[in-house]
Amino acid sequence: MNALLLDSSVWLAWSRRHGEPNHPAAAAIIKRRERRELEVCLLDLTPYELGNVIVRAWRRPAVQADRVVTAVLRIAGVEPLVPSPHERRAAWGLAEEHGLSGYDATYAAVAQSRRLTLVSGDLRLQDAGFAVAPAAVA
Amino acid sequence: MKVMVSIPDDLLARIDAAAAERGESRSAFLQEAARMRMGEPDPEVTEAIAWVEGLFDDLPADIPPAHVLIRQDRDSR
């Protein structure tokens, strides 16, 4: 079965139905998960990124951020992935080599290490070949 | 209901190993596999989707898309 590592941009695009160019594809991915056609997972840093955007950028109450994070954990059905020491070292190598932030590089390193397809709406990750657009796997 | 089915020895061993890896019983593992094969929706996921549906419909339209906000968030930390 296909296993996708969804970054925070995909989960957020799924949760906001209007004004998100990636919403239709993100929603289609979650529907495929609902039909058990694929597995989805997240990183341990994803809930913090979701909270940052929902509370600080969207200016919504904390209870709504918590509701989204709870839903995301339920949809994934597995605990968030925690980078191993080897993956952390690999991430810093990718950050150094490709000029990525530590957060971007951690997503990329964990996906590579665990043979997961990293899905992101972020063009920098897509252009560097570390992630595919949501529409590519919807 | 209990049923009798025929499963090759090697496949049964793999089923038991996969179930143990997930902390599930053989019976629960096979039930889940049958539901997957029939494309039955996962009720846990259906419920979680409903928790979020429409929650942010009233956000202003001029808020940048999520991937832009995530990029700003990652680059600012």
* CA nearest to B67, candidates A72, A104, A76, A61: A104
Where do the domains of chain A lie?
Answer: 4-136
Is A24's pLDDT higher than 70? yes
- In what helix (H) or strand (E) does residue B29 lie, and over which residues does it extend? helix B26-37
Of A9, A14, A37, the CB nearest to B70: A9
Q: Do B59 and A101 touch (CB under 8 A)?
A: no
Task: For chain B, give the mean pLDDT.
Answer: 93
Q: Which two tokens stand for residue A40?
A: 């989805």
Q: Which residues of A touch B73 (CB under 8 A)?
A: 49, 52-53, 57
Task: Give the model confidence (pLDDT) of B16-52 as tens digits.
Answer: 999 998 889 999 999 988 988 888 999 999 999 999 9
Q: Do A17 and B61 touch (CB under 8 A)?
A: no
Q: Do B77 and A101 touch (CB under 8 A)?
A: yes
Q: Which residues of A touch B74 (CB under 8 A)?
A: 49, 101, 103-104
Is A117's pLDDT higher than 90? yes
pLDDT of residue B63: 95
Is A105's pLDDT higher than 90? yes
Euclidean distance between the first and the last CA atom of chain A, given in angstroms as a whole number: 14
Reported ipTM: 0.92
Q: Give mean pLDDT, residues A67-90.
A: 96
Tell me the C-alpha distance between A69 and A67, whole Å: 6
Q: Would you state the CATH architecture of domain A4-136?
A: 3-Layer(aba) Sandwich (3.40)
pLDDT of residue B57: 96
Q: Give mean pLDDT, residues A48-76.
A: 97
Opening angle at CA B36, ends A44 and B10, nearest 5? 95
pLDDT of residue A46: 98
Q: Do A49 and B70 touch (CB under 8 A)?
A: yes
